[in-house]
Amino acid sequence: MGNVTIVGAQWGDEGKGKVVDYLAREADVVVRFNGGNNAGHTVVIEGEKFIFHLLPSGITHPGVKCVIGNGVVIDPLVLIKELENLKAKKIDVKNRLFISDRAHLIMPYHKAIDILREEKRGAKKIGTTGRGIGPAYEDKVGRRGIRIYELLKPELFKEHLKDVLEEKNLYITRVLGGEGFDFQKIYDEYMKTADILSPFIKDTSRYLKKWIEEKKKIIFEGAQGFMLDIDHGTYPYVTSSNTIPAEVAIGAGVPPESIGTVLGVSKAYTTRVGGGPFPTELFDEIGNALRDRGNEYGSTTGRPRRCGWIDIPALRKAVEVGGLKGLIITKLDVLSGLDKIAICTAYTIDGKEIDEYPPDVNDLSRVKPEYEVMAGWKSPLSGISSFEALPEEAKNYLQRIEKLTGVEIYGVSVGPDRSSFILRKNPFIS
């Protein structure tokens, strides 16, 4: 018995929320360790849709403890809204939500800087979610960030905010041409959040240490995906945190050996939202069909997602760097009805196959995907509950992905609801 780490193996939006929710039925604890409310993890339970931006996707399971680790950047106003939504649905979080005292806060000026910078970048914009994620992580690394425990120490918070705000207001007004922020307004607003959040703010590493010793089953829930990792992704078109499994140890504050079985989640095709290269992007009716059938619109921003075929060189890189033991393939049902399905098996530049994943986005935007075409399947997949019962063509497609990536497929999702999931191999025991 061990722990399980679930990360995105593509450009985010792979369906990690659904996978974590499914596996959480067997777990004791679910932990978020990176990102912030740029994430939008969707869980559908008997037709009812929940979108979690900060809360771990195990939160709807009454017995499961949920941790927001130190590596997450927290907008307290968003978190409170999520807690209110849960309360309205009669989901109690008392004694089972733990927020790391060391997590950094997203402040109103972070959001403003994020949005104003993107406007300034014009055509070169990254396409961020506008939630202040990058500027909050910049302040963390720049050693001027405000951590959530400071909300519990009003005098400290006041002094820190005053110091930081002066510089931020100068930057926002003089460099970015925006409007400055009023100290008192932010102070009052954030102090109100302190009253609500204080019971949850803890040294979460200590709790996790205890649960690890007690051999509780823990799921570490990644946000975004491999190709959005600040170091290993398609820089600079990436998010500002590390999204790979190695970040679990840092962002949750646990020993590296406790991260357990590491699985990457990949859609049966590929999507990307925001700017940056996307080698297998489709601009034709198949791309549009994938967007329509897969409802490929951002769960955080509502933006239409760019769609394309599955990209093996990108997945291989995620397997290699992340040390993924296996994959979980989601949205297989979206491909039903297509005559042919293409798999990108390699990239070429100027007619020559490249075997390294290019670090330069200019090169990556020039690569030509090489495709292998497989037969599709006609019948819908809804209601199928075992791997064996999938249409032969679907099984062939999945087996081909296994062969090309070199790792096993542990599970397949065949529809949005919690019940539309086939677990082929239990990651807690293997």
Contact pick of 6, 10, 13, 172 for ligand IMP (by CB under 6 A):
13
Backbone angles phi and psi of 281, in degrees to 5: -60, 140
Contact predicate 78/54, CB 8 Å: yes
Choose between 274 and 411: whose C-beta lies nearer to ligand IMP.
274
- Count of CB atoms situated within 10 Å of the CB of 216: 15
Nearer to ligand IMP, 223 or 263 (CB): 223
Print the binding letters for residues 269-288 with ligand IMP: x by CB under 6 A, - otherwise: ----xx--------------
Q: Is residue 39 close enough to count as binding ligand IMP by CB under 6 A?
A: yes
Using CB under 6 A as the binding rule, the residues of this chain from 224 to 243 that contact ligand IMP are 224, 228, 237, 239-240
Closest approach, Cβ 296 to ligand IMP, in A, equals 11
376 is an interface residue for ligand IMP by CB under 6 A: no
DSSP strand pairing (340-349 vs 368-375): antiparallel
Residue where the block lists tokens 């009003």: 154
Positions 76 through 95 that interact with ligand IMP (CB under 6 A): none
Q: How far is the CB of 14 from ligand IMP (least distance, A)?
A: 9
Nearest to 31 by CA among 93, 91, 100: 100
Choice among 28, 41, 53, 61 that is catalytic: 41
Q: Which residues contact 118 (CB under 8 A, 6 or more apart)?
A: 125, 126, 127, 128, 130
41 is catalytic: yes
Q: Which uninterrupted H or E stretch holds 88? A: helix 76-88
Judged by CB under 6 A, the number of residues near ligand IMP is 20
Min separation Cβ 302 and ligand IMP, Å: 12
Beta-carbon contacts of 251 under 8 Å, excluding residues fewer than 6 positions away, are: 33, 34, 69, 70, 71, 72, 241, 242
Taking the complex as a whole, how short is the minimal distance between the CB of residue 116 and ligand IMP, in angstroms? Answer: 14
Residue at 241: amino acid letter: S
Regarding 12 and contact with ligand IMP (CB under 6 A), the answer is: yes
38 is a contact residue toward ligand IMP (CB under 6 A): yes
Helix (H, G, I), strand (E, B) or coil at 347: strand
Q: Is 126 in the site for ligand IMP (CB under 6 A)?
A: yes
Q: Does 127 bind ligand IMP (CB under 6 A)?
A: yes
Q: First CA to last CA across the chain, in angstroms?
A: 8
Tell me which of 71, 134, 277, 308 binds ligand IMP, using CB under 6 A: 134
The catalytic residue among 13, 21, 28, 114 is 13
Which ranges of 103-214 does DSSP label H, i.e. alpha helix? Answer: 108-121, 133-141, 154-170, 183-197, 204-213
Active-site annotation, residues: 13, 41
